[in-house]
Structure 1
Amino acid sequence: MKCGYFTCSKNALLSLNILYILISILVIGVAVYVKAVSLVSSYTIIGTAIGCGVFLLFLACMGFIGAVKHHQICLFFYMVILFLLFLVQFSLAIALLAVSTEGQKTLIERGWNSSSAKTKIDVMTVGSCCGLTHWQDAPQSCPSTLECCQGDIDSRYECCGGQSNNMISGCRCETCFDDLKEYLNIGYKVTGAIGLFISITEIIGVWLAARFRNQKDPTADPNAFL
């Protein structure tokens, strides 16, 4: 049987959804690992990552079952949800790839301001930095134990406690934006490129599901309607 007919379409759709299942398991696994080793302590961030992984796993299982059974209703809802997901992800991917440095800074400031003190401390600990764009951006409860604040320096360098004398000489810790902006820029580009790639696979999935849904199973009753 030539490729492009029922069996080929079915196998292509199955392969695509197996890929989605593997990606969803990877996302969930990474989120659990990050929480287990205490790299990130925010339950909101971890919960969001796990939620996205579970949603993708559910959608992939729906597409897989629809492909195996040639289930019309299952394929229809799979196609609709996948198309909506494509619109959202494609838009976000283009936005991430096109955003300027100032735009990145604005987005990061919004995220920082809406984050909990615990999340801010996680960022400062990983980057060994103080505050986002100024040491006063640091949470008041942040301990002065960052690596950049250590050493035989007088008490003026007690950084990130919100109570220091940094107004005289300035905190010797870099701000998190200055310290991490290069990595953040790379992160935006890589995330946007990955999102763009996945969104392309999603529109291919929509096309495959629509094509497969309208093909007749050669093993079914030839008098049955699709």
Structure 2
Amino acid sequence: MVCGGFTCSKNCLCALNLLYIMVSLLLIGIAAWGIGFGLISSFRVVGVAVAVGIFLFLIALVGLIGAIKHHQVLLFFYMIVLFLVFIVQFSVSCACLALNKNQQHHLLEVGWNHTSSADIERALKCCGFHTSQNRSCEDACARDSCRPCDKLIEQYADEVLRFVGGIGIFFSFTEILGVWLTYRYRNQKDPRANPSAFL
């Protein structure tokens, strides 16, 4: 049997959606693990990770049910939502990979000014963004050699942006593959169905 047939398209679409379900559960699990072990202190970060995981899980579930039942309406909405997710994810991934050092530095400084820096300073053993900017940092600098946090954070941020951008680009191409498979599968007729029935 040729792999462009009805059964092959159905199996490929089911496998792709099972992959998305595993990724979504992994995302939710990592967020829960990070907060459980105290690696993530921000509830916003965890909330966003869990929300994205739940959204991906629901979309994959709609796609899986649509593929199993060959349900035209579910497959149509799945295809549209997956295409919109592809556009957003591809754009964000390209933006992550395209940020230069000055743009990263500016974004990190804005983020630094809007968060409590004590946890970051304690974790990275540094003081202030550019220089020591508060009294506790000045006291720590008097005892030890202190360094500003900007270079350390930029190093981590550069690695994270490249990793996230690469993973995002990879998964965005699996999403466009899912859109193409869904479009193809929607327009195929089930060979076991009544030949005179509509699609």
Fold shared by both chains (TM-score > 0.5):
yes
In terms of mean alpha carbon deviation, does 15-24 or 123-132 score higher?
Answer: 123-132
The amino acid across from 2:93 in the alignment is: A
The amino acid across from 1:100 in the alignment is: N
Give the whole-Å Cα distance in 1 for the aligned partners of 2:72 and 2:8: 18
User: Which stretches in structure 2 are left out of the alignment for 5+ residues?
Assistant: none
Match of 2:25 in 1: 25
Match of 1:104 in 2: 104
Q: Please state how far the C-alpha of 1:77 moved relative to its aligned partner.
A: 0.7
Match of 1:125 in 2: 122
The amino acid across from 1:17 in the alignment is: N
The amino acid across from 1:8 in the alignment is: C
The C-alpha deviation readout for 1:103-137, integer Å capped at 9, x for no partner, is 1112222333333x2xx33333332222333332x
SS of the aligned residue for 1:135 comes to coil
Give the whole-Å Cα distance in 2 for the aligned partners of 1:10 and 1:19: 14
- Superposed CA RMSD in Å reads 2.0
Q: Is the 8 A contact 1:39 1:122 kept in 2?
A: no
Match of 1:187 in 2: 160
Q: Is the 8 A contact 1:94 1:192 kept in 2?
A: yes
SS of the aligned residue for 1:83 comes to helix
Q: Check 1:7–1:36 CA distance in 2 against 1; reply closer, same or farther (3 A cut).
A: same
Q: Please state how far the C-alpha of 1:39 moved relative to its aligned partner.
A: 1.5
Match of 2:191 in 1: 218
Give the whole-Å Cα distance in 1 for the aligned partners of 2:122 and 2:47: 21
The amino acid across from 1:122 in the alignment is: D
Give the whole-Å Cα distance in 2 for the aligned partners of 1:58 and 1:203: 18
Q: Does 1:93 align with 2:93?
A: yes
Pairs within 5 Å for 1:129-148: 129-136=126-133, 144=136
Match of 1:58 in 2: 58
Match of 1:38 in 2: 38
Give the whole-Å Cα distance in 2 for the aligned partners of 1:171 and 1:95: 38
SS of the aligned residue for 2:104 comes to helix
Q: Check 1:221–1:104 CA distance in 2 against 1; reply closer, same or farther (3 A cut).
A: same
Match of 2:173 in 1: 200
SS of the aligned residue for 1:215 comes to coil
Residues matched between the structures, number: 199
SS of the aligned residue for 1:158 comes to helix
Q: Check 1:42–1:18 CA distance in 2 against 1; reply closer, same or farther (3 A cut).
A: same
Match of 1:12 in 2: 12
Match of 2:81 in 1: 81
Give the whole-Å Cα distance in 2 for the aligned partners of 1:220 and 1:111: 58
Q: Please state how far the C-alpha of 1:171 moved relative to its aligned partner.
A: 8.2
Give the whole-Å Cα distance in 2 for the aligned partners of 1:39 and 1:204: 35
**TM-score when normalising by structure 1:** 0.81
Give the whole-Å Cα distance in 2 for the aligned partners of 1:202 and 1:191: 16
**TM-score when normalising by structure 2:** 0.92
Give the whole-Å Cα distance in 2 for the aligned partners of 1:191 and 1:95: 11
Sequence identity of aligned pairs in percent? 47
SS of the aligned residue for 1:58 comes to helix
Q: Looking at secondary structure, tell me which structure has more helix per residue.
A: 2
Give the whole-Å Cα distance in 2 for the aligned partners of 1:10 and 1:211: 10
Give the whole-Å Cα distance in 2 for the aligned partners of 1:82 and 1:106: 32
Match of 1:152 in 2: none
Give the whole-Å Cα distance in 2 for the aligned partners of 1:170 and 1:87: 51
Q: Is the 8 A contact 1:93 1:196 kept in 2?
A: yes
Q: Does 1:178 align with 2:151?
A: yes
Q: Please state how far the C-alpha of 1:170 moved relative to its aligned partner.
A: 11
